[in-house]
């Protein structure tokens, strides 16, 4: 123990770790981001947005190139030429794809006249698999507040957990700490859904607290039920892929849900800034 | 020669880009190396534990603020990685790439456990053994392997500084 106190660098490291743990505990919940964090974000945000776009362009270019590699040898040169043409058109295609995605979002917004939305771009994602959190390029200055629901044309994405002046962090519904109140669209049975930690398979949610004797079959669509005050009613969460019942346990797992949203390719989202209830 | 001084900041900037943006999009079932841990360990081995820990703490805090769910966790891992790298400062030949690689892999192993503990404390659950074999160990291995070329690059970038530090130590 005496040696520990003599080793000053180690002692400083331990104190720093304790302070950082305290910081982690203090910042683990939903919160409004401090002015210093906002300032950093305001400076770095545009760079991040640019870097994210550049990454998407690079990734889509390689996807196109790799999709042509299984060509016959006879057609190799021709296909290489096509790949070159595709590369030349990649800028146009990128814009076309973006337009298509934004049009989808616009259609969704136009269909839902009762709520107000803000469109935001996903500029970064948490680098670890442990938390499913991503950063969007809209914050307090654009009218974003904590706990606002985040959606896309396919369904529910998550909710805003941290808000800075120019950016926000969104905890997605597939995060293991995320619990949402849902219902089976066909039977109107209420249940809860939460994210499943998964490194080997696709993103999943699990449905639990479904009433005993409830009718549930693979293919059933799960939507939000509006309880809890965060998510509006009727937004698609996903589709039931597997039903397993074990009624003797208290916290039973009733079903596995495949989320409606493709979280791996999420680029733009809608933040619901005003719900029907608030009007 | 003058351009060399920009190499280290560039390595860390690229590390931030890869960790936060590129590997978040391109990975194999969530398995990817952590460039900043590898860079931090390498920096610690070449420049000492103190500067590496401070740099690790600052960069980790930045990564937490911008991309993380809980602030402080990445800072702990990067700071510890820098400190761990510093334990081997001037104790081995700078050519030795095995020590930085093993230290970086251990740093990644620690980081994954810190994140797992944070997730468990927040109510999340996961199968430990399955996660260890399918995610934590492959990530640690990837970081260790990445650290080898990165350390060679870092050593080249810090050639002058390490030589200066070496002569300071000998004269001191």
C-beta of residue A191 within 8 angstroms of C-beta of residue A254: yes
pLDDT at B139 over 80: yes
Contacts with B24 from chain A: Cβ below 8 Å: 124-127
pLDDT computed for residue A14 by the predictor = 86
* Angstroms from B135 CA to nearest CA on chain A: 7
Q: What is the residue-averaged pLDDT of chain B?
A: 85
A24/B66 Cβ within 8 A: no
pLDDT computed for residue A238 by the predictor = 92
Q: pLDDT category, A275, cuts 50, 70, 90?
A: low
Choose the CATH number for A179-261 among 3.40.1780.10, 2.40.10.350, 3.60.21.10, 3.40.50.720.
2.40.10.350
Residues 6 or more apart whose CB falls under 8 angstroms from that of B49 comprise A9, B82, B83, B84, B85, B86, B87, B89
Q: Do domains A35-167+267-274 and A179-261 have the same CATH topology?
A: yes
pLDDT computed for residue A70 by the predictor = 54
Contacts with B116 from chain A: Cβ below 8 Å: 130
How is chain A split into domains, by residue range? Answer: 35-167+267-274, 179-261
What is the C-alpha to C-alpha distance for residues A3 and B40, in angstroms, rounded to an integer?
26
C-beta of residue B21 within 8 angstroms of C-beta of residue A124: yes
C-beta of residue A204 within 8 angstroms of C-beta of residue A257: yes
Pairing of strands A221-224, A179-184: antiparallel
Calculate the alpha carbon distances from A10 to A41, A157, B121 in Å: 32, 43, 26
Both tokens of B34, joined, read 């952590």
pTM to 2 decimal places? 0.73
- Which of B14, B18, B21, B138 is most worth mutating to test chain A (most A CB atoms within 10 A of its CB)? B21
pLDDT at A279 over 50: no
Pairing of strands A236-243, A155-163: unpaired
Which one, of B160, B135, B122, B79, lies nearest residue A25 by Cα? B122
How is chain B split into domains, by residue range? Answer: 2-162
Give the phi and the psi of residue A119 in degrees, each rounded to 5. Answer: -90, 135
Task: Output helix, strand, coil percentages for chain B, rounded to the nearest 5.
Answer: 80, 0, 20
B65/A37 Cβ within 8 A: yes
Task: List the CATH code of the domain at B2-162.
Answer: 1.10.1760
C-beta of residue A60 within 8 angstroms of C-beta of residue A94: yes
A21/B67 Cβ within 8 A: no
Choose the CATH number for A35-167+267-274 among 2.40.10.340, 1.10.10.920, 1.10.1370.20, 2.40.30.10.
2.40.10.340
The more confidently predicted of residues A33 and A262 is: A262
pLDDT at B53 over 80: yes
* Angstroms from B39 CA to nearest CA on chain A: 16
C-beta of residue B39 within 8 angstroms of C-beta of residue B50: no
* Residue in B with minimal Cα distance to A194: B124
Calculate the alpha carbon distances from B133 to B33, B59, B79, B138 in Å: 15, 28, 25, 7
pLDDT computed for residue B55 by the predictor = 92
Using CB atoms, which residue from B68, B123, B131 is nearest to A177? Answer: B123
Give the Cα-Cα-Cα angle B165, B166, B171 (nearest 5 degrees): 95
* Angstroms from B103 CA to nearest CA on chain A: 17
């Amino acid at each position: 123990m005496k040696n520990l106190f003599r080793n000053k660098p180690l002692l400083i490291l331990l104190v720093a770790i304790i302070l950082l743990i305290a910081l982690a505990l203090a910042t683990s919940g939903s919160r409004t981001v401090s002015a210093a964090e906002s300032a950093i974000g305001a400076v770095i945000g545009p760079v991040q947005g640019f870097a994210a776009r550049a990454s998407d362009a690079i990734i889509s270019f390689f996807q196109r190139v790799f999709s042509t590699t299984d060509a016959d040898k006879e057609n190799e040169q021709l296909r290489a030429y096509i790949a070159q043409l595709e590369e030349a058109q990649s800028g146009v295609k990128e814009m076309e794809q973006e337009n298509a995605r934004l049009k989808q979002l616009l259609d969704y917004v136009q269909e839902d006249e009762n709520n107000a939305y803000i469109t935001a771009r996903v500029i970064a994602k948490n680098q670890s698999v442990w938390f499913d959190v991503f950063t969007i390029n809209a914050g307090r200055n654009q009218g974003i507040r904590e706990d606002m629901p985040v959606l896309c044309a396919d369904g529910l994405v998550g909710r805003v957990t941290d808000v800075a002046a120019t950016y926000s962090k969104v905890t997605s519904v597939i995060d293991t700490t995320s619990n949402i109140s849902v219902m089976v669209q066909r039977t109107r049975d209420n249940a809860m859904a939460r994210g499943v930690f998964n490194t080997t398979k696709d993103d999943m949610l699990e449905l639990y607290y479904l009433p005993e004797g409830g009718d549930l079959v693979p293919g059933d669509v799960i939507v939000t039920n509006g309880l809890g005050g965060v998510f509006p009613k009727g937004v698609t969460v996903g589709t039931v892929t597997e039903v397993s019942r074990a009624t003797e346990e208290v916290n039973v797992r009733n079903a596995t849900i495949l989320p409606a949203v493709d979280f791996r390719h999420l680029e733009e989202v809608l933040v619901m800034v005003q719900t029907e209830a608030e009007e | 020669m003058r351009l060399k001084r920009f190499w280290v900041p560039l390595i860390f900037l690229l590390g931030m880009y890869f960790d936060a943006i590129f590997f978040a999009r391109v990975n194999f079932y969530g398995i990817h190396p952590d460039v900043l841990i590898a860079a931090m360990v390498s920096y610690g081995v070449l420049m000492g534990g103190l500067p590496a820990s401070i740099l690790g703490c600052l960069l980790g805090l930045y990564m937490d603020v911008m991309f993380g769910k809980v602030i402080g966790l990445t800072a702990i891992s990067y700071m510890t990685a820098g400190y761990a790298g510093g334990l081997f400062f001037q104790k081995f030949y700078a050519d030795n790439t095995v020590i930085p690689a093993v230290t970086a892999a251990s740093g990644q192993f620690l980081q994954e456990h810190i994140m797992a503990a944070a997730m468990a404390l927040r109510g999340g659950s996961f199968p430990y053994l399955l996660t260890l074999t399918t995610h934590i160990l492959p990530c640690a291995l990837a970081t260790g392997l990445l650290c080898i070329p990165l350390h060679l690059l870092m050593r080249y970038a810090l050639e002058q500084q390490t030589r200066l530090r070496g002569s300071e130590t000998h004269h001191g």
